[in-house]
């Protein structure tokens, strides 16, 4: 049965897809900083492919909001201004509230269990204030919750919005590590509301959680970057 997976993989995986995933990963990991210019030939050479798949990947990532294309000048990792980030956070709050409501309505036991496991890990990490370890757990928590909503259109839109925010959000946690324990407490309250099936509460808590994130971003950007 693993063979079926392999076949599907080969059927779906073109060079373009591979390149696209690689660039997306590098952007979201912060490896490619916002504003950086991406040179087609360089990326093509680095990955050992021609420019065509790279250009196609650029088009997809442009539509996804991760890249900005200027004709005859090149493509750049998108820079999200503070003002834009505010607007995106507002959208995310609405989507996340919806996720809370739907997840509370139809989360399945095994999904709940997985989320609780993540929260438990966060609890451990939160004591060390290790932002680098906390960040992926935070992403996973929200991702699992989104999946529990059971609405594919919602999940897709949520992911896109989160990706855009990741363009500037990475800074936040590193600069405000002291917020981690607060955030962890939020997550526990959210899981409990979802577990109880309290749609209204889950919706409100998640909405507020996002708005708090937005305020954390503001405070982080007001601060100077921490010394390296």
Residues whose CB falls within 8 Å of the CB of residue 56, separated by 6 or more in sequence, listed in order: 16, 19, 20
Alpha carbon 70 to its chain's center: 25
Q: Cβ(67)–Cβ(34) under 8 Å?
A: no
The radius of gyration of the chain's CA atoms, rounded to the nearest angstrom, is: 19
Binding mask 54-73 for DNA (x = CB under 7 A): -x-------------x-xxx
Q: Which residues bind its own copies (CB under 8 A)?
A: 11-14, 16, 52, 55-57, 59-65, 70-72, 84, 87-88, 90-91, 94-95, 97-98, 151-154, 156-157, 160-161, 164
Q: Which of 185, 193, 29, 174 has the alpha carbon at shortest distance from 96? A: 193
Q: Does the footprint of DNA cover residue 192 (CB under 7 A)? A: no
Closer CB to DNA, 16 or 138, in the complex: 16
Residues 71-130 that bind DNA (CB under 7 A): 71-75
Residue 41 contact among its own copies, DNA, none, beta carbon within 5 to 8 Å by kind: DNA
Q: Cβ(43)–Cβ(131) under 8 Å?
A: no
Phi and psi torsions of 17, nearest 5°? -60, -45
- Pick from 33, 52, 82, 182: which binds DNA (CB under 7 A)? 52
Residue 34 contact among DNA, its own copies, none, beta carbon within 5 to 8 Å by kind: none
Degrees to nearest 5, angle at CA 220 with 185 and 35:
120
Q: Cβ(204)–Cβ(210) under 8 Å?
A: no
Residue 91 contact among DNA, its own copies, none, beta carbon within 5 to 8 Å by kind: its own copies
Residues whose CB falls within 8 Å of the CB of residue 111, separated by 6 or more in sequence, listed in order: 144, 147, 148
Closer CB to its own copies, 157 or 192, in the complex: 157
Q: Does the footprint of DNA cover residue 28 (CB under 7 A)? A: no
Q: Does the footprint of DNA cover residue 5 (CB under 7 A)? A: no
Residue 49 contact among DNA, its own copies, none, beta carbon within 5 to 8 Å by kind: DNA
Residues near DNA (CB under 7 A) are 11, 14-16, 37-41, 48-53, 55, 69, 71-75
């Amino acid at each position: 049965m693993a063979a079926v997976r392999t076949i599907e993989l080969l059927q779906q995986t073109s060079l373009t897809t591979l390149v696209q995933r690689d660039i997306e990963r590098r952007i979201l990991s912060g490896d490619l900083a916002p504003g950086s210019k991406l040179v087609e030939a360089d990326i093509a050479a680095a990955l050992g492919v021609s420019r065509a798949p790279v250009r196609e990947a650029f088009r997809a990532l442009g539509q996804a909001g991760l890249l900005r294309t200027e004709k005859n000048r090149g493509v750049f990792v998108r820079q999200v201004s503070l003002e834009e980030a505010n607007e995106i956070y507002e959208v995310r709050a609405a989507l996340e509230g919806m996720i809370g409501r739907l997840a509370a309505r139809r989360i399945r036991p095994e999904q709940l269990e997985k989320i609780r496991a993540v929260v438990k890990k966060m609890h451990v990490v939160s004591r060390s204030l290790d932002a680098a370890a906390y960040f992926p757990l935070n992403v996973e928590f929200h991702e699992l919750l989104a999946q529990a909503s059971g609405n594919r259109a919602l999940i897709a839109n949520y992911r896109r919005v989160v990706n855009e925010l990741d363009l500037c959000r990475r800074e936040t946690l590193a600069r405000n590590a002291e917020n981690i324990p607060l955030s962890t407490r939020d997550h526990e309250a959210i899981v409990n509301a979802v577990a109880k099936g309290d749609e209204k509460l889950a919706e409100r808590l998640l909405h507020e959680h996002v708005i708090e994130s937005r305020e954390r971003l503001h405070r982080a950007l007001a601060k100077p970057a921490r010394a390296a």
